[in-house]
Amino acid sequence: MSLKSLFASKKCVVSFELFPPKSDAGVADLMKTVGELAVHQPDFFTCTYGAGGSTRDRTMHIAAGVKREHGIPVASHLTCVGSTREQLRDYLNAARENGVDYIVALRGDPPKGETTFKPVDGGLSYANELVEMLRAEYHEFGIAVAGYPEVHQEAPNADVDLVNLKRKVDAGADVVVTQLFYDNDDFFRFRDRCVSAGISIPIVPGILPVLGLAQVQRIASLCKARLPDEFVEKLTGQSEEAGQFAVGVEHARKQVQGLLDAGVPGIHLYVLNKSTATNQILQSVHGI
């Protein structure tokens, strides 16, 4: 089923995001986790794509394995970093051969040690160019793009960031999946601004359950996500990892339930290659 048709046919689409482990043993463990997550009957899994394509083989291996073993549609992330157009075509041809259904089209972050993005000779500079190439040459793939409720860290302001998102949508994206956030009001404001800008495709909130205070502080600093004071106070009030985990899961549960109650078209969970938090959240919400 096409990505566009999927969102048109369901009240709420559920997807899980994986990342490629560094070792074969890690991949084996991940596939066990995928089996545990598959009981929730997600509509698709996504797998990230390392900086500069550093994990491209594992990304493809994982996506193909999930599709083969569970029959669940899969999406591969793909970035413009470090790749010429021909190298991107090589990856997309392999994705087609391996049964990948959708592509998450991203510009990608600058390589480690660099502060600005620079395309390689013969490469692409922006995600909208990748979307345009997909639409022109790879009609079979559904296309997701990234949105930023609290503004991309490289954007000078929210207005410029929204213009960039609109450019990706106009190039042919099927759905917007957002960066993580911890206050639903930030998502709702972003969604309203998208609608006002003429963006009519589904806007899916991305949720990352907190596993511990140190983890969320590190991740939030990287993507500039705001942590509500009350949430931080609850986390700091727990000295044990288990207590912080419980607080994080409950916060994510409330986020997901609030989003479902507001009628979002989907929920995208960043599962961090684990199943426990996701299992607890999905077993305790209604509306999916």
- Single pTM value for the model: 0.95
**Cα–Cα distance, 97 to 212 (Å, whole number):** 39
Q: Where are the alpha helices (DSSP H) in 197-240?
A: 213-223, 229-236
Residues recognised as catalytic = 17
Per-residue pLDDT tens digits for 147-159: 999 978 777 788 8
Res. 209: pLDDT tops 90: yes
β-strand partners of 76:
47, 103
CA separation for the pair 272, 209 (Å, rounded): 9
Task: Judge whether 157 and 119 are in contact, CB under 8 Å.
Answer: no
Query: What does the pLDDT read at residue 120?
Result: 86
The owner of tokens 């190439």 is 133
- pLDDT category of residue 175 using cuts at 50, 70 and 90: very high
177-197 per-position pLDDT tens digit: 999 999 999 999 999 999 999
- Per-residue pLDDT tens for 110-134? 766 676 778 889 999 999 999 999 9
Lowest mean pLDDT segment, chosen from 55-59, 94-98, 181-185: 55-59
Residue 153 confidence (pLDDT): 77
Token pair of 191, please? Answer: 């969604």
List the domains of the chain with CATH numbers: 3-282 (3.20.20.220)
First to last CA, the chain: 19
pLDDT at residue 258, rounded to an integer: 98
CA distance 71 to 63: 11
Distance CA 197, CA 183 (A): 22
Q: Are 36 and 73 a contacting pair, CB within 8 Å?
A: no
User: What is the predicted pLDDT for the residue at 28?
Assistant: 93
